[in-house]
Structure 1
Amino acid sequence: MGTGERNQEAHVSEGSTGATSTAAAGATSRGASGATSRGAAAAAPRTLAESLRARSDASLAALLRIRPDLLNPVPSDLTQLATRAGTRASVVRALERLDTFALQTAQVLAVAPEPAPYEAVRALLVGDDGDAAVEAALPGALAALREQALVWGGDDRLRLVRTARELLAPSPHHPSPTGLGPTVAEATAGMSPGRVQEILQAAGLPATHDPVSAVTALTSLFTDRARMAELLDSAPSEALTVLDRLVWGPPYGEVSADPPPPVRWLRDHGLLLPASARTVVLPREVALHLRAGRAHRTTEPVPPAVAPLREYRPQVVDAAAAGQAFTALTTVEDLLAEWNEGGPAVLRAGGLSVRDLKRTATALDTSEQTAAFWLELAYAAGLLASDGEADERYAPTPEYDAWLELPPAERWARLAMAWLAATRTAGLVGEQDAKGRTLSALGPDLDRSPAPEVRHRVLTLLTTLPEATSAEPGSLLARLRWEHPARSGPDDLRPRLAQWTLSEAELLGVTGRGALTTHGRTLLAPATGAAEREALGLLAAKALAPHLPEPVDHVLLQADLTAVAPGPLRRPLAAMLGVLADIESKGGATVYRFTAGSVRRALDAGQTAADLQAFLTEHSRTPVPQPLSYLIDDVARRHGHLRVGAASAYVRCDDEAMLGEILADKRSQPLRLRRLAPTVLATTAEPAALLDGLRSMGYAPAAESAEGDVLITRADARRTPRRAAPAPVPDGPPRPDETLLDAAVRAIRAGDTAATVVRKDQPSAAAGAPGALPRTSSAETLATVQAAAMTGSAVWIGYVNAEGAASQRVIAPVRVEGGFVTGYDHTADEVRTYPLHRITGVAELPDPA
């Protein structure tokens, strides 16, 4: 069906064969004030447009809120809104939002006669045995379908939108989810009249004079329970077995040129009708009789409950989640500290290479899939990005430095809010796309629009359980399938998104032991703007803060050259200790180990032995062990004894014997050193290579400047230019706010006023086609608008703007001067000024009744 045919659903009254509705058809008269008269609303609507016209403003706003794609752009009137609501793309999107029972109700309407009374729909859902739960849920399902403009009409004449009927009705190439086939009338449409009469005779029915009455008689037989029972009682048992195979679908079966006797009996009696030369079909009326009147094998009027798995004390859940939240913070910090001086290169196609992902996972001591999650989380939070250079690499952003200055709870809230809103899906890393390409971490193809909705819904379902109770995953997935059955299938990502949500929420500390936490519940409160979302994050941080460990300002020095941090260290202490020692292990307490290399690193950063001794004495709850003091003094004594500069590079030392020792060492041969003076060695190697070579030989050289001063070497932090966090990819048009909805409804109502208003006949106007712009002379136009300004009445005008676009408007003139008319434009719902020379004509509106 083409667009023009679909438009008829919005324009054409019942019984019309194609003429568009006139302005007076079902129209309500608009007064001079532009207020809508609902006098015609009591009459049964004949089109979807009339049904929408009878709705209240609140109901129209609800429709636009549920189906925001109808707002892009704002329809000019209700007829255009109805037409747009019947387009295939919009209907498919609306069907995907239906729950299982609402979709089953729509499927029943697609196989029921059109229009269908409420009782017929109820009978197809409950069958002969009845179902109290279905009968109780049916009014709500129909109300939901009406609200989304998928169904219109009163309970005595329910109509499914034509496009939805085409999508849900059974056909040979598109079986119905109900498993029903075509009706007798549809199946016999191409059958010869003689063959139809033969079926009537075999079924024991009298012959008729025309095929239409013959089909009617056959349909009457198949819908008569008593006569159908008698007919089936006379059927061979093997024929009943054939019917049992087809009754719940698919209703089509292949037959040979010489079918067996049971199939031949069914075909002769019309219980199987030919669909093609080798295919037969079970008529819908026969299937419904065999099903006891039910369209579905199983109806699901009530959503499956989310089953509890295990109940904990709330304090246990919050404490476990807080520990995991702290681990999340340290993991993100370790990740970005690892890339502080510049991370891995960006692939040409975008993203991180498999090798670099493995290295990152090894550095974080975790799996590659979990490492991909932390990378995507930091990226979504705006803490990590590519630097945009020619040799493009990943590096922390300036936002990372600001994030580090926040309290731990607020840092966690930033990560959690970014995770909830992100469309980036780390679970897809390592899989292949439709073209067989591997999806890489931080790559361009990881956005999945349903991800935020699924995350919110999974966590919201956890709130339906008692506090501190975990959910049985299978029941959670069953509930999600019930809520969105149209998307279910082998390619549906939603079940996997739900499973990833549960694992990621646990990693992040939103849940603890599978149960939603107090701070996790806070994150789920509705928020519309950035300010409200930031406020929610602060509330969640406030709820989490008491459960996070307090940073400590001391360590415990051990005699084995280690230091134990009994908790998270304050940032200055952690930064200095990270230079002076190497992290040996993490857990409830972090163990640092002091080595000659780590002490030299601190000395290279400009510290002295006295500075290091004073630092350890200040921050240790135990005395500085003698071995550690000896290690610091020994490395400091040797540090800088050798000096390296650029010659390309040279080594100078006041101890000639030491330089001789270096030249005699075989390990120095790759450096190609040669003596220039008793206290100077030179090489063609770079100073950095010379420094590394001497250090590998056990010496502690220091780099010096051209002036002979010792160079203090600190790791240079690499930052990207300021970058915004990646914007989530929306799943369709964004949900409109109340201000936009109110303005859109007023604009649609005003446009509908101009399109449907009844106008007085203008004898002087040239006769034109319906809907054409009015045509009057300049003198008549001026006289009419001046009279309307004096009487305060409204007029209908045709107007052509500067771009040549023509439109019809209803205005109430208040002033006419200088070749312009100023008045209240009911179509635009505001006061406007129009040049008189652009008004093609004017017509008076009828006096209100």
Structure 2
Amino acid sequence: MQLSAHLEALTDDELVELLRHRPDLAGAVNGGFGTLAGRAASRASLGRLLLRSDVGMLVAAEALSALGPILVDDLVERVGRADPIGFVEALERLLVRGAAVRDADGRIAAAGQLAELFPHPLGLGRPVASLASHLDVASIRDIAEHLGLRLVATRKAELIDELAAHLGRADVVNDAVADAPDDARELLARMVDARAADLELPSWLLHRWRSTPVDPRVWLVRHGLLLPAPWDRAEMPREVGLVLHGDALVRSFPFHQPPLVTVEGADQGRVDAEAASAAARALGAAEAVLHAVEARPPTLRKDGTLGVRELRKLAKSAGQPDDLVALVVEVLAACGVVTLSASALEADDLAGKWTRLARHERWLVLVRTWTDTDRIPSFALSVGPDGGTRPALEVQHGPFDARSARRDLIEQLARVDAGLAVDFEDAWVNVTWRAPNLWSVPDITPAVTFGWFVREAVTLGLVALDAPTSALRALAAGRLDELREQAVALLPGDQSTFVLQADLTAIALGALAPDVARRLAELADREPAGDAGYRFTEASVRRGFDLGWTATQMRAFLSSHSLAGVPQALDYLIGDVERRYGHLVVHSGTSVVVAVDEATLVEAISNRRTRSLELRQIAPGVAVSPVGPEELIAGLRNAGYLPVGADGTVSIARGEDGEADGGTASLDEDAVLAQLAEDLADEPPTSWFAPTGGRELSDVEAAELVGRLRRGGDPDDAVAPTPVTELRQRVRTLRRRQVRVAFLDGDDYVELIAMLMSADDEWVHLYDPADHQVLSVPYTDLVGLEAIEGPS
């Protein structure tokens, strides 16, 4: 049956399911069933479907690629005897989603180019017709002779068909295996056990394979049990593999999703209370990391990544664990709060907007970014295939769709009833069953990736005590108002007061409002343990004077926010720094020092700690130094003095309460959030890219499209552009820009970051910086393309 006729025979409900699971077909609806079938049969569209297919569908698709067309009962006998019902249900899902067709005789086959996506289905090699096509007639007859067969055909194509028919007979293959030398027979057995379709066969042996019966591989090739393949390989023909595998063609596969193992757990209240602590720690870490980045931007490596050493320095500066800082850096970079310059990780303009949000809003930005990013934060500090530790902000290659996999995890955890906890040890088998290809990260097993995502969810406060939180349930259901309410419950409003202690420390009894915390941090140093403690020192108070504070403003600010007034020791410290601040003034140019009182200058010149500055008095109250002004100011301060620059360094004027002149307008939270929704990609726009294949359609949208399809397309609507037309239009806007591109290279799916150099009517030309080569990809092999804004 033609695919177009098969699709037309589906019920409306089945067509709705088809469009919901294959949203990339929506643009073909206006062209009718013929256009829809053409796109559904393409490698690109079927490849997207396989990325979202469950284990049962993948096994059924491989079986059809290897054995179809075939009657369902015969296919079940060969492949699905362990679970006939589950296997047939998987076949039905393939039929409804347009990946398989059934003819009038009841035989089922792979649709379109599906079989091309499985070069070695079920571990089987290619057919004899494919492998023997490059052999000459003499070689084909030589194989038949060694098998004791006489081929009657004369033309090469007919000889190949005749040889294929013989190699598909069990008696011929079994007799050849029985006659094989022990080492050749053992080699075949190992290939069957390992489901290896091919092995290495050096070309020097291949060139003399008819006259060198020494190597077991050569014996197998001479008898047709293996056939030569390109690139110094020998491959077991599919006909031979089907005989040798026999009833063990398919091992036991779970055609139904394994149950998620749960045990009795804590009540929802305890779970949410534990999550509140985790959310507060994560938010505190993010704020501490941002503060550390603002104080000293970490240096990036030449490849734009944040190296392990710099990451650990940042963690030490922020007073946070290395792994938590790695997660926070990845999320902050993904949402744009920090950005990658040419050589450093720096705070972006959005950082100021983010810090001014309420606590629960700042946490929501982190959570929504983590949910939507296509990066894997736990890649940072993980061990790479070479045994080295991966840096942060590394370009992550491969077809892995982190966004979809993460959402699958969230949706499945949200189904766990309140009061139950998940046994996460083997839960990855359940979660990844729905779409194992989504979890296929190069060099990393699905179990490891699953563990990373769970750990990140725990760190952010979405999972606690092995159970989903109320916030996760709201997030999974898309109930944003409820999610905001849960965020407020997890992270109540900020505090505006703190306790000043006699030991020159300040303790916040809760998280401080961003504005209060920022102003307090100008006068005191954050304690390494987190953002609840601050310490006043001579250097920190001097920093306040440098920023334009006056002693009166400092005392007014501290008095208005302290629960118990300003301790005498702190008042004395402010007064002492005020008396000494500015007694020495450093001029630029010749580094001239002017003293308010000559005694201070004489003392500074004679101080042993200023000898390296080479101060020399040239007049009463005036000295010069050969070092630059900045170095001179730093040297004098290290010696215990508090000089200021004479170039307007302390020109920041402040109001009576310590705010900059003019004050700060009251924050319009709604306006800021609206801006963040745009700038931080709270709802990122849908991009036409391979892993997701476009936004999933709702039932209502799919039903409307089905109605239009039944009408043969809506004449009032323009015919939707083909994928190639869409890509050509997009390519015109992306020339000379960095892009993420996905394409099919023969039997392989390739995804990489490249520079789009140019394009013509048929080809897109890309520069791959990793391999330093130009790639030319035909439009028909492109699966997806999107711009990269800045380093990935």
Equivalent residue letter for 1:176? P
Larger Cα-atom Rg: 1
Task: Assess if the C-alpha contact under 8 Å between 1:462 and 1:470 holds in 2.
Answer: no
Kindly indicate whether the alpha-carbon contact (under 8 Å) linking 1:342 and 1:393 is maintained by their aligned counterparts in 2.
no
Aligned to 1:569, which of 496, 512, 524? 512
Structure 2 counterpart of 1:506, from 458, 462, 471: 458
Given the alignment of the two structures, is residue 639 of structure 1 paired with residue 581 of structure 2, yes or no?
yes
| Residue number among 574, 578, 581 corresponding to 2:524 in the alignment | 581
- Change over 3 Å in CA distance of 1:240–1:332 after alignment to 2: closer
Match of 1:150 among 76, 91, 99: 99
The residue number in structure 1 matching 2:336 is 382
Q: Is the 8 A contact 1:673 1:683 kept in 2?
A: yes
Matches within 5 A, 1:457-472: 457-467=408-418, 469-472=420-423
Q: 2:115 aligns with which of 144, 160, 165?
A: 165
Aligned to 1:659: 601
Shift of 1:750: 6.2
* 1:307 correspondence with 2:249: no
SS at match of 1:380: helix
Residues 345 and 632 (structure 1), Cα distance of their counterparts in 2 relative to 1, 3 Å cut: same
Alignment deviations for residues 312-358 of structure 1 (CA, whole Å, 9 cap, x no partner): 33222212221121122222222222333673466665444555434
- Post-superposition Cα deviations, 1:634-679, rounded to whole Å, max 9, x if no partner, equal 2222223334444644433343222222222243343343334323
Identity %: 27
Say whether residues 1:176 and 2:146 are aligned partners.
Answer: no
Aligned to 1:406: 357
Cα distance, 1:517 vs structure 2 = 1.0
2:31 counterpart residue number? 76
Match in the other structure for 2:435: 484
Q: CA deviation at 1:158?
A: 1.9
Distance 1:690 1:715 in 2: 30
From the superposition, tell whether residues 148 and 555 of structure 1 become closer, same or farther in structure 2 (CA, over 3 Å). Answer: same
Separation in structure 1 between the aligned mates of residue 211 and residue 300 of structure 2, nearest angstrom: 65
State the 1:516 CA deviation.
Answer: 1.8
Partner of 2:736: none
Q: Which residue of 1 aligns with 2:495?
A: 552
Q: Aligned runs of 1:276-295 on 2, under 5 Å? A: 291-292=246-247, 295=249
Q: 1:49 aligns to what?
A: 4
Q: How far does residue 98 in structure 1 lie from its aligned partner after superposition? A: 2.3
- AA aligned to 1:734 is G
Q: Following the alignment from structure 2 to structure 1, what is the Cα–Cα distance between the partners of residues 260 and 246?
A: 31
The answer as to whether partners of 2:168 and 2:240 remain within 8 angstroms in 1 is: no
How many angstroms apart in 1 are the aligned matches of 2:384 and 2:186?
45
Q: Does the 8 A contact of 2:304 with 2:343 survive in 1?
A: no
- Structural mapping, 1:292-691, within 5 Å: 292=247, 295-308=249-262, 311-340=265-294, 343-344=297-298, 349-352=303-306, 356-386=310-340, 394-429=345-380, 441-442=392-393, 450-467=401-418, 469-485=420-436, 491=442, 495=446, 496-526=448-478, 536-548=479-491, 550-586=493-529, 590-622=532-564, 624-646=566-588, 648-683=590-625, 685-691=627-633
Q: Distance in 2 between matches of 1:199 and 1:374?
A: 69
Query: In the aligned structure 2, how far is the partner of 1:694 from the partner of 1:242?
Result: 80
Secondary structure, counterpart of 1:598 in structure 2 = helix
Tell me how far 1:109 sits from its aligned partner: 2.7
CA contact (8 A) 1:196 1:214 kept: no
CA distance in 2, matches of 1:626, 1:380: 46
Q: Give the Å deviation of 1:450.
A: 0.3
Distance 1:491 1:274, change over 3 A: closer
1-side partners of 2:37 and 2:51: how far apart?
19
Distance of 2:128 and 2:93 partners within structure 1: 28
Task: Tell me if the contact between 2:497 and 2:508 (Cα under 8 Å) persists in the aligned partners.
Answer: yes
Q: 1: distance between equivalents of 2:477 and 2:360?
A: 18
- 1:102 pairs with 2:57: yes
Q: Per the alignment, do residues 137 and 492 of structure 1 end up closer, same or farther by CA in structure 2, a change over 3 Å counting?
A: farther
Q: Assess, with a 3 A threshold, how the Cα gap between structure 1 residues 105 and 344 changes in structure 2: closer, same or farther.
A: closer
Match for residue 667 of structure 2?
Answer: none
Is the CA contact (8 Å cut-off) linking 2:542 and 2:642 kept in structure 1? Answer: yes
Q: Is the 8 A contact 1:553 1:570 kept in 2?
A: yes
Q: Which amino acid aligns with 2:72?
A: Y
Query: What's the offset of the Cα at 1:83?
Result: 3.0
Equivalent pair of 1:108/1:295 in contact (CA under 8 Å): no
Superposed counterparts of 1:793-832, under 5 Å: none
Q: Structure 1's 572 and 61: CA in aligned 2 closer, same or farther, altered over 3 A?
A: closer
* CA offset digits 1:382-408 (Å, max 9, x no partner): 322356xxx775443333323223221
Q: Distance in 2 between matches of 1:148 and 1:654?
A: 85
Change (3 A) 1:194 1:548: closer
Q: Secondary structure at the match of 1:413?
A: helix
Tell me the C-alpha RMSD between the 2 structures.
5.3
- How far is 1:376 from its partner? 1.9
1:57: Cα distance to partner? Answer: 5.2
In structure 1, distance between residues paired with 2:635 and 2:252: 77
Closer, same or farther: CA 344–50 of 1 in aligned 2, 3 Å: same
Question: How many Å apart are 1:377 and its aligned residue?
Answer: 0.9
Q: Which runs of 5+ in 1 are unaligned?
A: 1-45, 169-173, 202-209, 527-535, 755-849
Contact kept, 8 Å, 2:144 with 2:163, in 1: the verdict is no
Distance (Å, rounded) in 2 between the aligned partners of 1:280 and 1:630: 86
Size of the aligned set, in residue pairs, is: 663
Q: Are 2:102 and 2:108, in contact at CA under 8 Å, matched by a contact in 1?
A: yes
1:696 and 2:638 aligned:
yes
Change (3 A) 1:419 1:221: closer
Q: Is the 8 A contact 1:654 1:679 kept in 2?
A: yes
- Give the SS at the match of 2:510: coil
What secondary structure, in the 3-state scheme, does the structure 2 residue paired with 1:340 have?
helix
Looking at structure 1, the residues matched to 594 and 142 of structure 2 have their Cα atoms a distance apart, in angstroms, of 113
Secondary structure, in 3 states, of the residue corresponding to 1:559? coil
